[in-house]
Structure 1
């Protein structure tokens, strides 16, 4: 979850993911009726979510790896950030809720299709967790919300994943910690937590000893 993006920013990232290619503002306008313009593209570039080529017009944009990682899990209502002093209208909240629900359904369909493909994953659960962590993390030792881990392992029962995560704490490079800023926790974050030693852990880090 990113605190610096508005629902409109997320919508633009979703459009770029759907296109899955470098696309010009002219094409964006023709296909989707919108353009990625200043200061939005500059903000998304600076945050590392989008790569824009502005050497000539029309400007061209593509989703960066960091943007793909951000969109690898369902969107949640808490991500709909407003500018300072601004309040979201009911229509904006409804549109954001529709976007989040549609995107989550798309991710669920993709996961179901992959599960039905008949390709058996012979890796251990520990290996699978490490693999999805590497996909979601910005680098070794970076904190990753457990929501992102669970959304990539939808075929694993929660109890089994909880047990595997707890056992992984025996490894010297694994950390599981609670979210310090509890007011940031939404329903999905609380449900994704694993209870260890009498406290709920919400974040996973792997790779630093």
Structure 2
């Protein structure tokens, strides 16, 4: 397929998958990366053999080997026409990554898949449990307001967990317990347990010996 048929959104999807170096649920692109991933983008990239798509129990995108190669081409590439301010800035950052890779001699896929040993780097100050909980609370609040149609609407915890897939479960649960004590926050069980999907049951948080499946934040 000619290069001109890959849109800026297509390229951003590939770059996001490359940088995260892991399969990503479709909700991640909208709720975390701010990318409006539509079915046509997914279909085009799949038809080109650049991604694999798993649709059950949720839509998940994974880079193929060909997709990795195509994504690395964006490192140091010229931004596409009408990329805009954000797109232009993205390609400045990608060009820096390309120069860093060339200087270090590390392959792009090795760089993004790298697991850095704490003993080999100078670690930043470790946050206390209290500050970590505050950060998790802020992340959950932000994700909730992106998912809810309006403040006070109930959102499934499964959708929140999916939007914050990088947040460890124990931090997520501790933040929910903290939020549950705040005014304007309601954590409730699904009234009709029969309609719950397996992933929605698994996403529940137990508070007061009761599984909570939904949250509403009115402020």
Shared fold per TM-score greater than 0.5: no
For normalisation by structure 2, the TM-score amounts to 0.43
For normalisation by structure 1, the TM-score amounts to 0.45
